[in-house]
Every structure is written in structure tokens, then in C-alpha cells.
Amino acid sequence: MLYREAGDYKTSYVDDAQTFPIAFDRWRYYVVLVVAFAIIPVFISDYMAKSVMIPFLVFCIAAMGLNILTGYCGQVSLGTGGFMAVGAYASYKLMTAFPELNIFFVVLLSGGITAAVGALFGLPSLRIKGFYLAVATLAAQFFLVWLFNKVPWFFNYSATGQITAPPRSVFGVDVTGPEVPAWGAYLFCAVFVFLLAWLMRNLTRGRVGRQWMAIRDMDIAAEIIGVNPLRTKLSAFAVSSFYVGIAGALFFSVYLGAAEPTEAFGINQSFLVLFMIIIGGLGSIFGCFAGAAFMIMMPVLLKNLMVDGMGWPTTIATHFEFVIVGALIVAFLILEPHGLAQLWRLMKEKLRLWPFPH
Amino acid sequence: MKLSRLAAVAAAAMIAASPALADLNVPALNYRTGPYAPSGIPYADGFSDYMTLLNERDGGVGGERINVMECETAYNTQKGVECYEALKGENPLVFIPQSTGITYQLIPKASADGIPVHSMAYGRTSAVNGKVFEWVFIMPGTYWDAASMMVKYAMEQEGGSLEGKKIALVYHNSAYGKEPIRTLEELSKKHGYTLTQLAVDHPGQEQKSQWLQIRRERPDYVFMWGWGVMNSVAIQEAANIRFPMDKFIGVWWSGSEADVLPAGAGADGYKSITWHKPGADFPAYEQIKTLVHDKGKAAGDGTTIGEVGYNRGVYAAVIVTEAIKAAQEATGKSNITAADMRDAYETLTITAERWAEIGLPEFAQPLQASCADHGAPHMGAIQQWNASEKTWTLVSDFMTPDEEVVGPLIEEDSMAYAAENNITPRTCE
Amino acid sequence: MSAEFLYTIEVILNGLLTGVMYSLVALGFVLIFKASGIFNYSQGVMALFAALTLVGFQDGQVPFAELINAVLGTEIHGFGWEMPTILAILCALAVMLLFAILVERIILKHLVNQEPIILFMATIGLAYFLEGFGDLMWGSDIKALDLGLPQGGSFWIEDMTVSWAAEDSGFYGMYIDKLDLIAAGVAVALVVALTAFSQYTRIGRALRAVADDHQAALSVGISLRFIWVVTWAIAGFVALVAGSMWGAKSGVQFSLSLIALKALPVLMLGGFTSIPGAIVGGLIIGVGEKLFEFAIGPMVGGATENWFAYVLALIFLVFRPQGLFGDKIIERV
């Protein structure tokens, strides 16, 4: 009843090829957009924005980036944290060197710079595969973080190497710096998430995306049918790094406001983003959102539940947080190895057939 | 049914934490877990125990109970942000971030929100300049003070001159570790020693290269700006290469029990700078034992009392409560606001008599903050570890840093920050 | 001989010994990867957990003391006795065996035949779990680990070598850490034992059969589940050895789990499937990073070891994508 194809007749190829072919799905999508852009900004509190929504949105972008590389093109990368650092430092340098430049373009340009760096570090992927490549990308991770720590030019020769985002605004509303209204920062990130998700959806179902997937499924076979592995792999690295760079720029300028490379862009971030896409589901845009939501919101939820809700001591609560998140990851994998996105897909299939399951 | 109720609780918990109480709310951004937990646990114990003591003994400060709002950060910046956002709506009087990373986050935010930040001898050194950083306080001193005092101590040991001597700095390769470099470089020009810098990457489990280099170059002194596991490994390696431990001096965050105990007997003689007396030999501590620990109200397991970290927690608690008291006296009301707290911090005076009065005679140096100077008293002394008795003892008098060198550096760095963030420094008469 | 030359030798020797310490951690990864194709992310946390358990038994700590105190309002901290080291090691081994059985029962059994990345992910979940569980069980404070092993530079070597250079050349004799030497001995013993075990015992042969071909092994009646328990138990034992060697240096606390990051380049260089590879890889990485830090480090500001280890491994991989001793990757369409 809810989720029906019946009666939904397509009269053109454009209609037939649309992203959400089912009317209910389409409406759901519009509702999500309205909620995200019209309702949440009105009601969002500082706490919700700063500790839940903004990190969630930023990591959605990072997860999308890594999903392009790992989920669609099959190249496992553990350099996400390093590439986020590139985005962050690029945005810092651009913000301080060109104070008039609008922050929107600063973020985009940071993504572009990261894309170039990412393509460079993607070169070994032509030789190295699988877990070997994953470990090889760690070289990028450690080297980039070390570089930003060591070369004073990157942090404008300040005494300690901490970078702080100066205040910048879009249409007169601050989005970085200390006086940011919760809705402003939220909307700024949400716009990026929307644009990038739209871009990703259309990239992945077009020619480029098909090439990526061909390489993922079997690179030698893909090469034989005429997919250029060099161009395909490097383009995946570049596009992926573009996303990750934007995530890094937003992470630094909008979310944290100040950062140092070792802590903010350490190996933990790389793993965190990888967890997101695996839990969410490889090769799925919905999976990026689901995974990011799980990894960002779960700890906050658990903490609030255990510490504020039940009054447990903070230490025991934190330890349990680890235990529970770990157990949940394993449980999810046992129940559904292909991630939350697969659960979602199964649910949709069930809905389609409901109430007649056979 | 059960599930939906659980979800409702969760949703409620997400939106708003517990309601604000009428008490004096003091957030504690503790880190009792994670890689730096060994340093965070005794501090958190000391801070909470002293507050509990005041609540038990005096009913709080000025008749208002103190409500310590613990929030676990695991020394992680993101969690720190979450803690800040969760607690800032509950009338917090002052934030003590307990991490350099979190401090840097909070400096602009808390200044905009009008909540004082007290980064106790860590964080951004140039924030000691009250003209630029109105809301940030660094009592009892800065890293640059520490560097200068360590050089001063070394100079005293060498009979007044460091001409031609070699000093090696082993530092954590992060914002925190890089703090003293500029000061030490300036001082090397003045005193004529050569400075070797040895960076150790996080986490610092492997430092053989650095210590082999020290062994080759035989510096006269080794200073250390280390953190976490790096400290204990460095002390172990120093013992291994038989570097004279009494010439190995750590900054205050490299000189607690957690750093020296793993090295066992090898750590004997290791020194570090500090700003308070070690040990538990104070009347207030007796009261903590009888009124807090014996009644089962200890924040931790009660074994950390008298450790360096614990004393630092107590020190922080004293500064906070003394500022609360001063604010109450200045405003004439018991229920003060964060703005009152800031004003009190800026004029905070704790005399030697006052230290004795609160049961901590000679625990730390008397201090007098001012509008321009947010880092009083800028004094430190050297403590030394005795491995067989497992105690720290002070081996020097309290010293003052070389203002001539540190002052201009602070001016330069704080003005650069002001320019970058469009802050017009206020004038302090 | 000139001091400069001797110091270079010293750096190389120390690099070799440090490399052995890396190999100790890498061995655990290799064992599990070989037998089950699982890239076990939780190996580092296992080392931490094993070391925590060892110290916990040694010092007579009450497991879950904090939790028990919080729930029941009691004030218990320790049993008040100190266990002899040997007994504590045996107890810790028993715990690791139990751990292996539970991992197989609860996790691996349900994930047979899944893709490698899913299994990898499961070990990440396991790592999270174990991190919280270990802290909950033994507390997150730092603990000094004393196994009675000697530490510090060897006088004997120092005295013997000091005369090799001219007296005023500034050479102070060769520095070799005694603990490193012991670790090297342990590593050799471990490799010999593992090789003997897999060559000359029934279970060992079964292990090798499984490593060669799962399906063929199953079809001749080898129980995969039993083999997995055995491998995880051995990996747990290796984790205990690695954890206590590193723990003796730095004390046992959370950061110990990060030693896994030092093992990854070793693994990649030596190949995920080769025990000799783990050793040789460790030696190359150890020497390479120490020499680079010694020669180039001062010019670029130091602290190069973390990334250089990876770059070195990367350079090797470009020429041999399966690592030095890894199984040749054969690709078919």
C-alpha cells in the first residue's frame, strides 16, 4: 500500500531513468529535503548542531568520498585523515591569504587542491592491490600529517602549529569563527552534502561510475574491454579526495574552528570513515548517511543515555560505549554483512511485496 | 512498549541534558579513559575530592553548593566540543579544558559566549596576555615561563653560566611539544648554549633514534616536553643509556607518578618542573581523607591522593573556588554568573596566609592576577623523583622566568592572533 | 675505525633489534591471515589486553573492580596477593585461549565464507569491544610490568667496543639494549617453535593444510572451527609475548595497542602470508627507518620514522606488489 509501483506509468526514458522511480520514494525524498532545509534549521539548538548534526554532515561527505573510492572503485584507502588534513590546511591558507574570497569557494578550492594531492598518492594503486594498498595509503596518512606539522608555511609560522579559522560569512551570516548561529553552520554544511550527494549519484550511474565499478569487479577484465585503468583509478582517487578535502575543510573551519594535524586528522579519522562506509554499506549513497549516523550519533546517544539518563559514572559509561559499539558492529555484520544499506534495500523489497510476501 | 520508552528517553537525552540546578556549576572535562588516562585520573580525583570536601565541610562556597559536572573527553577534541556544547547552557562558571587541543577550540567560542576558560599551565601560551584574551586564564604560568625557568635552573647548577653548554630538547611532535622551542632558541642566543631539537612522533612508543643521538652528542642537559606514554618511554631510554638523570628535566606535564613508575629504579633522580608542593602532607588532605574518602565519597578509588596529578586537581579546584568566593564578595550575591567569575579571576589574589587558611600551607605560591597578566604567579620549582621511596621532593626554590625574553614573545604572538581575528586589544590601566 | 662509521654500525644494529620488536607484533597478524585470510585489526588491542591481563594477575587485581564497586557500592581493589610471574603468564595464556574460543563461537562461526573486508570489519568491532572490555576489567591506569628481565645498555658490549675507535674521537662504545637482545632471542625461539609446530605435529599439518586450501582441507576431514581456535589462541600467545616485551619498556596502558601501527609496514613489506617475511620485513623496516632518521632526519626536522617506514614498504611494494615473501598474486579473468 505504501510502496507501490502499480499505477506509476513512465511515459519517457527520462522518467524511466530517474533516481527514485517509485512515487512514494520520490515523495519521501522531497520530505527529507524539506525537513533538512526548512524544518531542522528553525529548531536546531547549538548542542544539536555542534555535537550531532555538523559532525554527521561533515562525515557524510567524507564517507561519500571514501565510498567512491572503496565502494565503487574497489580501492581500499586508509589515508582519509591525511586527505582531510590537506583540505583543512588548504582552506586555512586560502582563508588567510585571500580574506575577501567567499568561504564557499574556499571550501570548493580546498577540495580541488586535495583532489590533486589525492591523484598523486593514488599512483601506487596501479601496482598494489587489496590490503597491501590499504596499508600503502597509510604512507600518505603519516607523511601528510608529518608535513603539516613540520613545515611552518602551512600554519603561517605561528608558535605552535595550531591553525584557527578566522570568521567568514555567506550572505552576511557567519559560518566560521566564534559567533556562528547554529542554523547557519548547519545549512552551510547541508548545502554541500546535498550538492555532493547529487553529484555522486549522477557520477556513479554515468559512464565514469560504470568504469569504476568495472575496475572494482575485476580490473583485468575491465582493462580487456577497454577501460583505461590509469585514468579510471586516478579519477576515482581524485574525485574521492575532492569530497574528502571538502569534508576536511568543513571539519576544520565550520566544525572545530581550530585544529592541529596530529590529533584532528590522525589515523583514527581514517579508520572512522572506513568503519562508516562498511557499516553503512559499500557502494551505496544511503550507506554513507547511515554509516555516518551510526558512528557519530551512537556514541553521543549512548553517552547521554548512560550518563545523563541513568546517572552512571562517566568512566564506566565510556568503557561500555566501546563495548556496545564494538558488539553492535559485530552483530550487524553477522546479521547483514553488506551493511545498513542492504537492510534498507531488503526492507524496501519486503514493503513492495507486503502484505503478500509470496 | 519498552522499546519506545527507551527511545523516548534517548530522544529526551539527546535534546537536553539534565536541567540546570541553582548550584554553582563547574564543568570538569575529565579524561579518565583513553591513551592519556594515567595523567587524567589523579587530576580528576583531586579536583572532585576538593570540591566534595568544601561541600561536606562548609556546604559549598558562600552557602551555595558546588556542582561538579563531569564530562568524559578521553582527551579527544571532538568529544571536548560535545562536552562544551552540552554544558554551556547550564550556567557553567568556568571551563577547564584539560587539553591543549580543546583549549584552542574553546578560546574563540567561550570568549564569544562569555564563559571564562582556565587552561591551567597549558593551552595557548600567548593567551596570558589579558589585553587580547579577555576570557582566558593560564594561572599559574605558561610553557614559556617553564622553559625559561628550566634554563635558569640549569644555569644555577652550572655555576651561573651556560656558555658553550649543550641542551637537547626532546619534544612531542605536536602543538604542545613545539611550544618551548622559540623561547629556548631566544634564550640560547642570550646565554650562549646550543640547542638540539629532537622530535618524537605520537605516540612515542619507539624513541631509540632520539636517545642514540643524545648518547652520541652527550648534551649537558636534556629537557623534555612529553606527553602520555612518550614520557615513560623517554625516562626508560634515558636510564638505559645511563644519561645522568639529575640533568634530565621534564616540563610539568612530564613529571607525574605515571611517567616515572614504569621505569622503576631507573627513573631515580629524574627531575621535572612544577608549581606546587608534592605529597599529601597538608591539613586539608587530612580532611579529605576523613570527610570524603572515609565516607565513601571519593571521586576515584582513593589511591591517588598526594600524587602530582592529584595535587594539580586540588590546585585547579582552589583557584576556581577562590575566584567564586571573590566574585561573591565583589557582587554581594551568592549565586554568581560567568561574567562575575571572569572579573574575579582577573583580580584574583591568593596570599600565603590564605593558602594556610584553607588548609594548604605553602602548597603553592601566592598569586595576584591582573587585567593584563592572566598567568600569575609565573613561578615554578624543580622536583626530583626518589624511586625507592616513590616520592617527589622539591630540590630548588621557586623561581621566576626571564621576563625580558618571554615578554616580547608573548606580545608578538598574541598580537598576531589579534590581527588574524580582528580583535582590538583593550587597554589595561 | 672512525667514530662516524662505528656510530652508523650502532644505528644499524639497533635498527635490526628494533625491527625484531616490530616483527613480534607482525607475527600475530601473519598467523591469522595465513590460516583464515582475516586481516586481524584487533591484534594490537589483543597485545594490550594480554599484557593487561598478565599485570592484573601478577598484582592480584580484582577484575571489573570499578564496575563492581559502582554497582554494589563496595570498596574492593585487590586480592592482596602477588602471583609469581610464571603462574601469571599461565593464567594470562588461559584467558587468551578462552578468548580464542569465544571469538570463534560468537563471531567467526557466523561469518564463514564472507568477503575479506567484512571479516576485517568484524575484527574492528572486536577491537572496539576489547578496548572497552579491557579497560573495564583492569582499569585504565598505567601499570608497571616487571617480568624480571634486564634492561639498559650492555656494559660488556660497550667496554669491548670502545677501543675500536681512537680515544679522542668521541666514540663511547656500542650501545645495545639488553631487553632488545632478549626480545630477539624470544623472537627466534618463537619462530623456531612455530615452524616446528607446523612441521612436526598433527595440528600443525592441519594448520598448513587449511592455509593452503580451505575447501580441500575441509574435504579431508579437518575441522575448520578447531583450526581457527588454535590459530587465534596462538595469535593470542604471540600477542602476550609482544605485549609484555613492549609493556616492559613503556608500562602497560592504552597506547600499547598502537604498536600495531608499527607492525603494518612490516607486514606489507614481508607479505601477509609469510612468517620469515615478518621477520625479514621487520629487520628491513627497523634498519631503514633508523638509518633514515640518523642520516636525513636532522635535515628535515626529525620524527620521520612513522611515515618513512610506510614509504619504505611502499617502495618495495612497487617492485613486488605481494611483499617480499608473499604468495604470488595470480590473476585470471
Q: Using one digit for the tens of pLDDT, what is the confidence trace for A210-224?
A: 999 999 988 889 989
Instruction: Decide if pLDDT at A133 tops 50.
Output: yes
Residue C306 — pLDDT band, cuts 50, 70, 90?
A: confident
Contact B205 C262 (CB under 8 A): yes
Bond from prior residue into B377 cis (ω within 30 degrees of 0): yes
Chain B: nearest CA to C123, how far in angstroms?
20
Lowest-confidence region among A153-167, B308-322, C72-86 = C72-86
Chain A: nearest CA to C82, how far in angstroms?
26
pLDDT digits (tens, 9 = 90+) for B381-427: 999 999 999 999 999 999 999 989 999 989 988 888 888 778 889 88
Nearest residue to C175 via CA among C193, C154, C194, C189? C154
Lowest-confidence region among A30-34, A134-138, B42-46, C83-87 = A134-138
Regarding predicted confidence, which is higher, B194 or C154? B194
Non-local (6+) Cβ contacts of A333 within 8 A are: C111, C114, C118, C121, C122, C125
Residue B178 sits in the same domain as residue B134: no
Residue B22 — pLDDT band, cuts 50, 70, 90?
A: low
The mean pLDDT of B197-201, rounded to a whole number, is 90
Q: Cell 596529578 maps to which residue?
A: B309
The range of the structural domain enclosing residue B191 comes to 144-271+380-409
Lowest-confidence region among A72-76, B24-28, C39-43, C146-150 = C146-150
The gap between the terminal CA atoms of chain B, to the nearest Å, is 65
Write out chain A residues lying below 8 Å of C274, CB-based.
none
Residue B36 sits in the same domain as residue B136: yes
Angle between helices C224-250 and C85-102 in degrees, nearest 10: 140
Number of domains in chain B: 2
Instruction: Decide if pLDDT at B5 tops 60.
Output: no
Residue B124 sits in the same domain as residue B183: no
Q: CATH number, domain at B384?
A: 3.40.50.2300
Q: If you count them, how many residues does chain B have?
A: 429
Of the ranges C51-55, C198-202, C212-216, which is most confident?
C51-55
The mean pLDDT of B251-259, rounded to a whole number, is 92
Bond from prior residue into B19 cis (ω within 30 degrees of 0): no
Non-local (6+) Cβ contacts of A278 within 8 A are: A291, A339, C117, C118, C121
The mean pLDDT of A185-196, rounded to a whole number, is 94
Q: Which of residues 31-70 of B touch C (CB under 8 A)?
A: 32-35, 37-38, 41
Q: How far is CA B58 from CA B54, B65, B66, B395, C189, in A?
A: 5, 9, 11, 35, 64
Q: Say if CB A154 and CB A147 are below 8 A apart.
A: yes
> For chain A, which residues make up each domain, given as ranges?
32-266
Residue B18 — pLDDT band, cuts 50, 70, 90?
A: very low
Residue B1: what pLDDT?
34
Residue C115: what pLDDT?
82
Give backbone dihedrals phi and psi of B172, rounded to 5 degrees, phi first. -70, 125
Q: How many CA atoms lie within 13 A of B85 on its CB side?
A: 27
| Contacting partners of chain A (3+ CB pairs under 8 A) | B, C
* Rounded distance between C-alpha atoms, residue A126 and residue A135, angstroms: 15
* Rounded distance between C-alpha atoms, residue C231 and residue C101, angstroms: 10
Average pLDDT, chain C: 87
Write out chain A residues lying below 8 Å of B205, CB-based.
none
Beta bridge partners of B385: B392
Residue of B nearest to A297 (CA): B14
pLDDT digits (tens, 9 = 90+) for C14-43: 999 999 999 999 999 998 988 888 889 899
- β-pair type (B391-394, B367-368): unpaired
Residue B182 sits in the same domain as residue B93: no
Average pLDDT, chain A: 88
Lowest-confidence region among A19-33, B35-49, B221-235, B375-389 = A19-33
Contact B173 C10 (CB under 8 A): no
Residue B338 sits in the same domain as residue B392: no
Interface test with B, best of C8, C24, C142 (most B CBs within 10 A): C142
pLDDT digits (tens, 9 = 90+) for A62-73: 999 999 999 999
Instruction: Decide if pLDDT at C173 tops 50.
Output: yes
Residue B339 sits in the same domain as residue B384: no
How many whole angstroms from its chain centre is CA B321?
16
Residue B57 sits in the same domain as residue B191: no
- β-pair type (B367-368, B349-350): antiparallel
Chain A: nearest CA to C7, how far in angstroms?
27
Q: How many CA atoms lie within 13 A of C120 on its CB side?
A: 12
Interface test with C, best of A120, A129, A132 (most C CBs within 10 A): A132
Residue A259 — pLDDT band, cuts 50, 70, 90?
A: confident
The mean pLDDT of B196-220, rounded to a whole number, is 90
Residue B23 — pLDDT band, cuts 50, 70, 90?
A: confident
Contact B101 A48 (CB under 8 A): no
Residue B9: what pLDDT?
47
The mean pLDDT of B214-222, rounded to a whole number, is 92
* Grid cell listed for C102: 569465544
Residue of A nearest to C124 (CA): A326
Residue A2 — pLDDT band, cuts 50, 70, 90?
A: low
Chain A: nearest CA to C180, how far in angstroms?
26
The mean pLDDT of C291-304, rounded to a whole number, is 86
Instruction: Decide if pLDDT at B339 tops 50.
Output: yes
Residue C333: what pLDDT?
66
Q: Cell 570527610 maps to which residue?
A: B291
Instruction: Decide if pLDDT at C261 tops 90.
Output: no
Regarding predicted confidence, which is higher, A151 or B249? B249
Residue of B nearest to A307 (CA): B71
Residue B132 sits in the same domain as residue B163: no
Lowest-confidence region among A86-90, B16-20, C193-197 = B16-20
Residue B307 — pLDDT band, cuts 50, 70, 90?
A: very high
Residue C241: what pLDDT?
93
Write out chain A residues lying below 8 Å of C124, CB-based.
271, 275, 329
* Rounded distance between C-alpha atoms, residue A309 and residue A307, angstroms: 6
Q: Say if CB C281 and CB C26 are below 8 A apart.
A: yes
Residue B16 — pLDDT band, cuts 50, 70, 90?
A: very low
Average pLDDT, chain B: 88
Residue C140 — pLDDT band, cuts 50, 70, 90?
A: confident
Contact B266 C152 (CB under 8 A): yes
Residue of B nearest to A257 (CA): B105
Residue A358: what pLDDT?
64
Lowest-confidence region among A176-180, B173-177, C26-30 = A176-180
Buried-state track B81-107, b at ≥16 Cβ within 10 A, e below 16: bbbbbbbbebbbbbbbbbbbbbbbbbb
Residue B61 sits in the same domain as residue B166: no
Instruction: Decide if pLDDT at A21 tops 80.
Output: no
* Grid cell listed for B358: 584553607
Residue C170: what pLDDT?
73
Residue A1: what pLDDT?
54
Residue B13: what pLDDT?
46
Q: What percent of chain A stands above pLDDT 90?
A: 38
What does pTM read for this prediction? Answer: 0.91
- Judged on CB neighbours under 10 Å (0-12, 13-18, 19+), C84 is exposed
pLDDT digits (tens, 9 = 90+) for B264-273: 888 999 999 9
Buried-state track C293-326, b at ≥16 Cβ within 10 A, e below 16: bbeebeeeebbbbbbbbbbbbbebbeebbbbbbb
Asked whether residue B12 is domain-assigned, the answer is no
Three-class secondary structure assignment of chain C = CCHHHHHHHHHHHHHHHHHHHHHHHHHHHHHHHHHHCCCCCCHHHHHHHHHHHHHHHHHCECCCHHHHHHHHCCCCCECCCCCCHHHHHHHHHHHHHHHHHHHHHHHHHHHCCCCHHHHHHHHHHHHHHHHHHHHHHHCCCCECCCCCCCCCECHHHHHHHHCCCCHHHCCCCCCCEHHHHHHHHHHHHHHHHHHHHHHHCHHHHHHHHHHHCHHHHHHCCCCHHHHHHHHHHHHHHHHHHHHHHHHHHHCECHHHHHHHHHHHHHHHHHCCCCHHHHHHHHHHHHHHHHHHHHHCHHHHCCCCHHHHHHHHHHHHHHHCCCCCCCCCCCCCC
Chain A: nearest CA to B159, how far in angstroms?
31
Amino acid at B234: A
> For chain C, which residues make up each domain, given as ranges?
3-319
Residue B17: what pLDDT?
42
Q: Cell 601528510 maps to which residue?
A: A144
Q: Is some CB atom of chain B closer than 8 A to the CB atom of A303? A: yes
Q: Say if CB B239 and CB B214 are below 8 A apart.
A: no
Residue B267 sits in the same domain as residue B397: yes
Write out chain B residues lying below 8 Å of C70, CB-based.
none
Contact B236 C250 (CB under 8 A): yes
Write out chain A residues lying below 8 Å of B125, CB-based.
159-160
Write out chain C residues lying below 8 Å of B32, CB-based.
140
Contact C175 B241 (CB under 8 A): yes
Residue of C nearest to A329 (CA): C125
